[in-house]
Amino acid sequence: MATATEAPASTTAEGPTSHTQNPVQPSIHQLMALVMRDVRDVGKNGFNDHQKYKFRGVDDFIGALAQPLRDHGVFMMTEILDFQTSVRGKMNAVHLRVAFHFYGPAGDKVTATTLGEASDTADKASNKAMSAALKYALMQTFMIPVDAGSLDDGDRDHPVAQSSPADAYMERLRKAAVWNNVTALLAMHAEAKGDGLLDSQVHGPNGETTLGALLVARGKQLKEEVAAREERQAQEAPAAAAQVAAEHGASPDLVDQLMAQVQRDWNDSLELTKDMAEATRRNVVLQEVDGPHNGMVQFGAMVTARIAELKEQARLAELNAHTPERSAA
């Protein structure tokens, strides 16, 4: 226990002043006992939506202790004693040994040392491991009341302990770009097979299953949805085409009628010119039709090309007709 000291006298403009002896400060052990007396119990307020279990998070313990620690002048400092990393499939794992030093106003301290372990697919493993270590340091140091029997399932109390290599796949699978993409699902299935994780237990939309079964079932569902959509579009295509044609002033029957007329007038440029004018008036010039050379062409382009061809034939015929007369002259 710290001892009190006599404060030295000070001198001001009015003369020396006197001080009374500093009061004796309570020890950290006494203060921690008072904190334990005031701390409230902590229930399982968190809930893991993916794996369907309740847990106590580190925030619950900090919230329970924050005011009692302030009331009694106790604060905490953290010291990392040991730090190790490893790889678990696609997960980065961190193992920590952490010392938590609790200080009182007298300057003395109590140290609690705990272990923290966590995994993450990115850069949060250290943060999670620190949270786990702090949570159990607070709970055990201050004997925070918990629900009956809860100390027997410590691993389930903290969501970090539930991490597994398959969890990395589930995090990716929950993204819409993967969940709604057959190609991405096939690639993930091949990757999981290479990692030996197809038989890993996961929690899917319909309950517990294996990672491989979930990937196969989702891929099959997407393929069935695509097939159903294509069938529905095929059934609706004639009506949709008729609607589009009607909106643009042309119907399938009208196009057929104009094509039949063009075929009748195929060798008459004057009549084809009239057909072209009718097609323009009825908004059919851009309609795709079967061309004379077994290909799809625009109605207007086909008729225009035929008119030009007939005119060129007429020009050449006229030229040939006048050539003998010029030669005789």
By the 8 A CB rule, do 2 and 24 touch? yes
CATH number of the structural domain 28-163: 3.30.390
- Give the tokens for residue 250: 């042309």
* Alpha-carbon torsion, ordered 216, 219, 220, 226, to 10 deg: 180
Q: Return phi, psi of residue 75, to 5°.
A: -135, 165
> Average pLDDT for residues 306-318, to the nearest whole number?
87
For residue range 81-95, what is the model confidence (pLDDT) as tens digits? 999 998 876 788 899
Find the radius of gyration of the CA atoms of the chain.
Answer: 43
Residue 248 pLDDT: 54
| Residue corresponding to tokens 């119990």 | 41
Chain mean pLDDT for the chain: 79
Q: What is the largest CA-CA distance in the chain?
A: 148
In sequence order, what are the beta bridge partners of 150?
none
Q: How far apart are CA 134 and CA 252, in angstroms?
A: 75
Output 153 or 314, whichever has higher pLDDT. Answer: 314
What one-letter code names the amino acid at 60?
D
Does residue 157 carry a pLDDT above 80? no
**The one-letter amino acid at 281:** R
Chain segment 286-310, per-residue pLDDT in tens: 888 888 877 888 888 899 988 999 9
The angle subtended at Cα 208 by Cα 202 and Cα 212, nearest 5°, is 50
Measuring CA to CA, how many Å separate 150 from each of 44, 131, 155, 159? 9, 19, 10, 14
The predicted model scores a pTM of 0.41
Contact 142, 35 (CB under 8 A): yes
The phi, psi pair for 292, rounded to 5°, reads -70, -15
Q: Give whole-number Cα distances, 211 to 20, 217, 255, in Å.
A: 73, 10, 55
H or E, element range at 136: helix 125-141
Q: Which three-class secondary structure state does DSSP give residue 307?
A: helix
Rounded to 5 degrees, φ, ψ at 158 are: -120, 125
> For the chain, which residues make up each domain, given as ranges?
28-163, 167-229, 252-328
